[in-house]
Structure 1
Amino acid sequence: MSELSIFAIVTIAIIIIIIIAIIGNSLSDRGSQEYERPEARAGREGEYIATNIIRKVLRDEDILLTNVEISYDGRKAELDNVIINKYGVFIIEVKNYAGTIYGKADDYTWIKSKTDPFGNTFTKTVRNPIKQVNRQVYLLAKHLELYGFNVWVEGYAFFVQGNSPVWCKEVLGSLHDIDKAVHTFNRNRLSVSDTEAIKEILLGSYR
């Protein structure tokens, strides 16, 4: 075999190795980008389900905003769902926990327990959603005050799986609960102009 033939074979082999390496890295990068933690996926799916449920009880004058980012005094929060209407401003925090949840209304954290098909039980500490939504209520009310709106904000936690360990006024477990929560006069009676202004504030386009 001539030196030219050997050189050609080596060159082709090197090119093939380079191509394989490029394809491998590409697949690896794509896999890492497409991977999503089970908790994150469950949360995203839960938000999608809950938002569709909320839409079923909305009336013509209701405004629904999702994934609203707010801040006050350096403290930030992302609100799953905010409903604005003549009855007031309402936050609905969505939780799609699988398994059994243990905790009390005043506990800072709760325990989530889940058993897999093989009989293995896993536990995890999660933040008490009631405490979480109460913080969101405070931040949203203060955020709106910065724009001159002194609005009473109501906050609720909605459990997609219906497995809240406690049931109180901040916990919603059904379509009826959501409808009643956002369509009952409390401390507000907002005008159409007020609801539109609050919407623009939360969308970041208020002038």
Structure 2
Amino acid sequence: MYLLIIVAIIVCIFRLPIVKGIIGEAIVRIIIGKNSIDSKAPKFVINNLVLESANGRTSQIDHVVINQNGVFVIETKNYSGRIYGNDSQINWTQVLNYGRVKNHFYNPIKQNYTHICVIQELLKQKVEIFSVVVFVKGNIRYINSENVYNVFGLMKKLKTNSKICISIEQMNLIYDTLIEHNKNMVVSNSEHIACVERMKNDVKNGICPRCGSILVVRHGKNGDFMGCSKYPRCRFTKSID
């Protein structure tokens, strides 16, 4: 009896979104490996990077890989079922139980775009930055995006090819810059959550959380949404609830 209760508790724990996220990130960590600057395919790896933008907002980035092809900013999702979405949609859809259950979540491409903007802001140099969204479990065949991969696609994407875009010296500089800004920040999880709440309040008050400009109603092929008035300089968008 007690054994069944323990098993049931363990199953419930592993179904928690936060636990699924941790497991997904752990799997990706194994795939991308560690720093290997002295190998034939040199690379730097940073996991769980927290950066602060010029307007004081924080971005929590799952993984960053730097090799001679460029900088890869990786957002990890550990969702099961069929996943539907494209680059322009505000929200994507997770379909479970043969279509009986549908869950919506914010477009991870747009989420990762925010992360890339913060990195570009810090680096202050022209460098090839790739947006990579990885679904560890979900069926991604219904996603219309060139930036979404499963774990096997991620391995292929990160494999250094003959096109050398970044020198070893540039790789070191990029890595040191990101690590320096990460180390100099003392941001706890509670502070990051508080920052996210401030962003939500800004949106409620019609203020763009990315640049501080006014949000306006825009019309797209998938319906109306809130967008920054400074578009295309700022591409922040939010669905209208």
> For the superposition of Structure 1 and Structure 2, which TM-score range results when normalised by the shorter chain?
0.5 to 0.7
State the percentage of identical aligned residues: 27
Distance in 1 (CA, whole Å) between partners of 2:159 and 2:116 is 14
State which of 100, 103, 109 in structure 1 corresponds to 2:82: 100
CA pair 192-122 structure 1, distance change in 2 beyond 3 A: same
The 5 A counterparts of 1:113-192 are 113-115=95-97, 121-145=100-124, 149-164=125-140, 165-181=142-158, 183-184=160-161, 189-192=165-168
Gapped runs of 5+ residues in structure 1?
1-34
Cα distance in structure 2, aligned partners of 1:160 and 1:134: 20
Q: Which amino acid aligns with 2:79?
A: Y
C-alpha contact 2:83 2:138 (8 A) present in aligned 1: no
CA contact under 8 A between 1:90 and 1:182: conserved in structure 2? no
More helix by share: 1
Specify which structure has the bigger relative contact order, considering alpha-carbon pairs within 8 angstroms and separated by 6 or more residues: 1
CA RMSD for the aligned pairs?
3.1
Q: What's the TM-score once normalised by structure 2's chain length?
A: 0.59
1:162 is displaced (CA, Å) by 4.2
Q: Distance in 2 between matches of 1:92 and 1:120?
A: 29
Distance 2:69 2:84 in 1: 33
- Give the TM-score, by structure 1 length: 0.67
How many residue pairs end up in the alignment? 166
Structure 2, unaligned stretches of length 5 or more?
1-12, 184-241
Larger Rg: 1
Q: Are the counterparts in 2 of residues 103 and 111 from structure 1 also a CA contact under 8 Å?
A: yes
Q: Which residue of 1 aligns with 2:48?
A: 67
- Aligned position for 1:41: 19
Counterpart-to-counterpart distance in 1, 2:160 and 2:128: 14
